[in-house]
Amino acid sequence: MGFRRHGPFRPGDQVQLTDPKNKRHTVTLREGGAFHTHKGSIPHDELIGMPEGSVVRSSGGTPYLAFRHLLQDYAVSMPRGAAVIYPKDAAMIVGMADIFPGARVVEAGVGSGALSCFLLRAVGEGGSLTSYERREDFAEVARKNVEKFHGGPVDQWRLVVGDFVTALDESDVDRVVLDMLAPWECVDAAAKSLTPGGVICCYVATTTQLSRTVESIRDHGSFTEPHSWETLIRDWHVEGLAVRPDHRMVGHTGFVVTARRMAEGVTAPPRRRRPAKGAYGDEATAR
């Protein structure tokens, strides 16, 4: 499986055309096809054989930059069955969960397949990804999106329609990534499948989900102290001496929680920093 195509554009390639106003259009090239806008048309045959980074003009004279998709562009424009994980969070999951080439990774909650694409690229041809999705319709959307980006079926990817807790049939995996409404229900199954030193990584949207996920990992006893955070991105306007932050930014999209699997039978040392008074309610404080 090729993770990225190089060389001139070929039939079947997805090409991103960007106009002077930075509006982007995605075109799947086919012989004899044409791209139409109110600014004129561009024959696909004119693009086929051209190198990436070329400029092509519509029949109306508008210039378009032509590149293959970056994964970050594809992830936010792919057809959706469920909400996608945005590139900023996918990048943090890959980095902070230490998804490495050759890793055996399991994910639960495939959604539209955006994170699966990032994970497959990270594990490389020597690794593997098994994805569990409860809903067959979401799984089918994800399959189409992943295979469309990679140009066909992916040898390193196994997509299972079923519940993670009951369908999981792997052990000694390196990483477990949970993207679902109630990841705390899957902590025990994740612990059983992870190799010592492996990482559990959970992606949740709300503070109540975050709290329950962290407490479930903490209470399980097989993991190190969970670490949780979110990422915020702000672009900057740079034009000569006019350098300032943009007025808008990509703020909260979700929280990421990670923890390490300890050796079997080992209990983490107790936390030295005591929780703030009232953190667990009056009843817990009284005990």
In the annotated binding site for S-adenosyl-L-methionine, the residues are 112-115, 133, 163, 179
Strands 194-204 and 173-179 come out as parallel
Token pair for 125 = 């041809």
Amino acid at the residue 165: V
Which residue is it, tokens 């991105």? Answer: 233
Residues forming a β-bridge with 201: 177, 258
Q: 3-class SS at 174?
A: strand
Binding-site annotation, residues: 112-115, 133, 163, 179
Measured CA to CA, the distance from residue 263 to residue 252 in angstroms comes to 34
Question: 105: number of CA atoms within 13 Å, CB side?
Answer: 33
217 in Cβ contact with 187 (< 8 Å) = yes
* Residues whose CB falls within 8 Å of the CB of residue 116, separated by 6 or more in sequence, listed in order: 107, 110, 129, 131, 142, 146, 157
**CB within 8 A of 207, min separation 6: which ones?**
255
Distances (CA, A) of 40 to 53, 60, 216, 284: 20, 5, 57, 68
Both tokens assigned to 85: 């994980």
Q: Which amino acid, residue 161?
A: V
Dihedral sign of CA atoms 190, 193, 195, 198 in order: negative
